[in-house]
Structure 1
């Protein structure tokens, strides 16, 4: 036996009193030369002390740090230092060493490189008595989460959820706010403290909004969230959206949805995109929320069709997007720096070029005008063409030359024959797009503003006709032009 081997033996104090402790664990505690406790706030500790066992706890460490991670890190450092001095120590934690015990995970991770062997003893976790007390069958599915680091995406409403390490009202408040992102404010949850400990057990069910008002939070407290099939909760789950779309496309689903192909709903994707843009222009958040949902539905349908053909799933879409976002933002997720948006864009473009090279695309041989989606609206397509050409110096030197080009194209359009007009009109529009670029304006947005302006002024004419009880057939251009000018004056300065 190697007597120089440094060892930390970790045992669990269980979830109840000394009578519930396995004899082997009790003997390890009783015979320990050096016994350390993460906390003395446990029913077994007082009983061990009454038997004359010398105990050293790390409770004072909690008061020296603001965060639990710093607390656990210091406890682990102290344990390694004690093992270095004594060669062999016993470390006791509440419950089971491998259930919701961060310090043990840190010991296991660091032990080999520190030259310290970590041996795990047994112990009863709080899960067994909790299941028995609340009559939960774990085969139905459950999740065990850490209350000190809870995130909304971890909460699965369809599972029994146990949130451990809810030590006090502050942690409970954070847990409450996180759960409220997933569940209704009045959803009933259960707080359980010292489950299975005679004379100390407290079980109390309250609406979620009252969670942090419970008075018996402590080291042995946890929160139980029962599963739900409430539609209002399920509607907020991405997994439920996937299920709905799959059902719609199934043999027992919707006949219309089953018949669709990528090509048949291609136009829907375009229409839904423009409807989202309209809500942005209208500054209507409620409508935007709805229209973004309609746009997402198109993505879900295309993904479901691809999944049925064995090409990819919506999870592949999300995975590819996540991977791309991380890869193209090394100044956020990596070691590169970007002090402003220009440097960030340069990083993005450099990585895009590397990606193309990795796919076997000869970037140097490709046209400098490549990479622009060919189905963009013509005005936007022209704008992007000109920007790419300008990047290599193919551009006007002065805005005065651009104005001259617009005037030249206008004259040529006026002088053009009927057969030439379409081409000359295109040249004029292309020159106007160039002017917009020099003025640092987006031509698509500028034209959209004018379209809205026209709609509002024309609506004024319609309103005046309604007030007069007349129709368009009962008026003339002169009267409509008068109302048009009235509308201009009324909205001047607001457009």
Structure 2
């Protein structure tokens, strides 16, 4: 038993190779993926007997199901001990999913397999459009357009644009890459007497008079960007710093020793955002990225993971958690996006987190920890319905703090510390109800205090004074001056 796979060429009967013709006329069992191909009439006229799988197209729930059914049927025929010839449009190894499946199943079943070369529609397309594929061409099924890399630099051939709906979906995806008015070439019935080659703008792609199973689209390559994005330079620098003969300090660092630096860099990024300083933000984001590369290099040296693993993992996670963008899910608003995200995240972490409050890192700043504890508790209903009781709770905790502060010295210290913690926890809850991140808010206030205090210090130096020369009223006047100056900028 065995299977021979052949291609019927891209169009007319005359584009079948002589080797394929001899195979078709001598076949005991000839199976066609589809009889809806221009050369099939020529086969019928010459008395070639065949069976097609066209009846499965209307029964299958999806193309994936269809291709699986066809592949299983071909393998089933071969298992009966017959010599099977399976013929597909074009070339067997160009955009033919059934051939890929049959080859895989045949190898697993120990069935002999032979694939005969054939002419594909690509050769006709290259000739008609004057394209030399050696300059770079990417070929993709219309169903797979969503996985195109954002920096695609080659020309693009899109196959299986078999309906107006597929053309519309392709148009919407491509317009994100190239813009609405990027010119593309639509080809149909290549190599046949009624061959059509039409140049249109992307937004017109689904408005053509006829779109069918012999329609493909060619998208010319975009002009090369002057600067291609790459992490390689900083990754290479870090590898050099950590290598023998590199920097002694960098070589000595570990994940543990670097903890303080990554925290510092995060807060410097926050400061740049607070200042609305684009130049500083660019620099600080670079410093933060350096810390990530640093940790990745240390992990790679010990066989843990690499920078590429980090990128692949987070990319896969973002795609998985945005099914409304990369899948078939539809959402109404941002709130539903967040809900979907949390549900997906909960499923992913089901085996790791057994308690409601699991998943909060131990080393977070206290304000951030309080915020996350409250948010997790709120998800299971442990929360007020509105902000009113939260205001009351803040007032209650402040009153208890005042009472504790009035206690005798021997008990006041521990009680005031506890009550102050309760006040801060209640204020964090208030921030949560207001939609404010308390850590970010306090950090912004710290930066504001630093700027105004620095202004006072500069004024004291400018007046050749010392701190002791000004009383609190004088210092407060300079503080108000600093506030007023900030309000003008």
TM class by shorter chain equals 0.5 to 0.7
Residue 199 (1) aligns with residue 187 (2): no
Choose from 97, 103, 113 the match for 1:118. 113
Residue 107 (1) aligns with residue 102 (2): yes
Q: Which residue does 1:226 correspond to in 2? A: 220
Contact 1:245 1:300 (8 Å CA) reproduced? no
Query: Kindly tell me: are residues 129 and 369 of structure 1, through their superposed partners in 2, closer, same or farther at Cα, counting changes over 3 Å?
Result: closer
Alignment partners' CA distance in 2, 1:199 and 1:412? 95
Query: Kindly tell me: are residues 430 and 142 of structure 1, through their superposed partners in 2, closer, same or farther at Cα, counting changes over 3 Å?
Result: same
Alignment partners' CA distance in 2, 1:327 and 1:19? 47
Alignment partners' CA distance in 1, 2:92 and 2:69? 18
Alignment partners' CA distance in 2, 1:340 and 1:243? 31
Map residues 143-182 of structure 1 onto 2, 5 A cutoff.
143-154=138-149, 156-182=151-177
Contact 1:188 1:205 (8 Å CA) reproduced? yes
Query: Kindly tell me: are residues 438 and 186 of structure 1, through their superposed partners in 2, closer, same or farther at Cα, counting changes over 3 Å?
Result: closer
Instruction: Give per-residue Cα distances to partners, 1:411-460, cap 9 Å, x unaligned.
Output: 4546799xx99999765431313456899967994869999xx9xxxxxx
Map residues 13-52 of structure 1 onto 2, 5 A cutoff.
13-52=8-47
Query: Kindly tell me: are residues 401 and 268 of structure 1, through their superposed partners in 2, closer, same or farther at Cα, counting changes over 3 Å?
Result: closer
Choose from 139, 145, 148 the match for 2:134. 139
Contact 1:176 1:212 (8 Å CA) reproduced? yes
Query: Kindly tell me: are residues 48 and 298 of structure 1, through their superposed partners in 2, closer, same or farther at Cα, counting changes over 3 Å?
Result: farther
Query: Kindly tell me: are residues 380 and 121 of structure 1, through their superposed partners in 2, closer, same or farther at Cα, counting changes over 3 Å?
Result: closer
Alignment partners' CA distance in 2, 1:170 and 1:130? 23
Q: Which residue does 1:333 correspond to in 2? A: none
Contact 1:165 1:220 (8 Å CA) reproduced? yes
Choose from 6, 13, 26 the match for 1:11. 6
Q: Secondary structure at the match of 1:219?
A: coil
Unpaired runs of at least 5, structure 1 = 250-260, 280-286, 329-338, 354-367, 389-398, 455-472, 478-495
Q: Which residue does 1:462 correspond to in 2? A: none
Q: Which residue does 2:349 correspond to in 1? A: 348
Map residues 317-328 of structure 1 onto 2, 5 A cutoff.
317-321=310-314
Contact 2:261 2:291 (8 Å CA) reproduced? no
Choose from 69, 79, 84 the match for 2:74. 79
Moved more, 57-66 or 104-113: 57-66
Q: Which residue does 2:362 correspond to in 1? A: 372
How far off its partner does 1:242 sit?
A: 4.5
Query: Kindly tell me: are residues 421 and 207 of structure 1, through their superposed partners in 2, closer, same or farther at Cα, counting changes over 3 Å?
Result: farther
Alignment partners' CA distance in 2, 1:343 and 1:74? 32
Alignment partners' CA distance in 1, 2:373 and 2:55? 67
Query: Kindly tell me: are residues 213 and 450 of structure 1, through their superposed partners in 2, closer, same or farther at Cα, counting changes over 3 Å?
Result: closer
Instruction: Give per-residue Cα distances to partners, 1:381-412, cap 9 Å, x unaligned.
Output: 56779999xxxxxxxxxx99999876454245
How far off its partner does 1:275 sit?
A: 7.5
Alignment partners' CA distance in 2, 1:347 and 1:84? 41
Alignment partners' CA distance in 2, 1:424 and 1:295? 41
Instruction: Give per-residue Cα distances to partners, 1:190-242, cap 9 Å, x unaligned.
Output: 111233x14132211110111112234333321111111276xx99xxx6375
Alignment partners' CA distance in 1, 2:434 and 2:419? 13
Instruction: Give per-residue Cα distances to partners, 1:169-200, cap 9 Å, x unaligned.
Output: 222122112212222011111111233x1413
Alignment partners' CA distance in 2, 1:219 and 1:248? 51
Unpaired runs of at least 5, structure 2 = 239-249, 251-257, 322-339, 377-389, 446-472, 478-489
Q: Secondary structure at the match of 1:179?
A: helix
Query: Kindly tell me: are residues 305 and 38 of structure 1, through their superposed partners in 2, closer, same or farther at Cα, counting changes over 3 Å?
Result: same
Choose from 266, 269, 273 the match for 1:269. 266
Contact 2:7 2:117 (8 Å CA) reproduced? yes
Q: Secondary structure at the match of 2:98?
A: helix
Residue 410 (1) aligns with residue 389 (2): no
How far off its partner does 1:20 sit?
A: 3.2
Contact 1:269 1:298 (8 Å CA) reproduced? no
Alignment partners' CA distance in 2, 1:269 and 1:405? 32
Choose from 229, 236, 261 the match for 1:240. 229
Alignment partners' CA distance in 2, 1:270 and 1:19? 70
Q: Which residue does 1:365 correspond to in 2? A: none
Query: Given the two structures, how large is their TM-score scaled by the length of structure 2?
Result: 0.61
Choose from 206, 215, 219 the match for 1:212. 206
Q: Secondary structure at the match of 1:54?
A: coil
Q: Which residue does 2:50 correspond to in 1? A: 55
Instruction: Give per-residue Cα distances to partners, 1:316-362, cap 9 Å, x unaligned.
Output: 4323546889999xxxxxxxxxx997997697386379xxxxxxxxx
How far off its partner does 1:17 sit?
A: 3.1
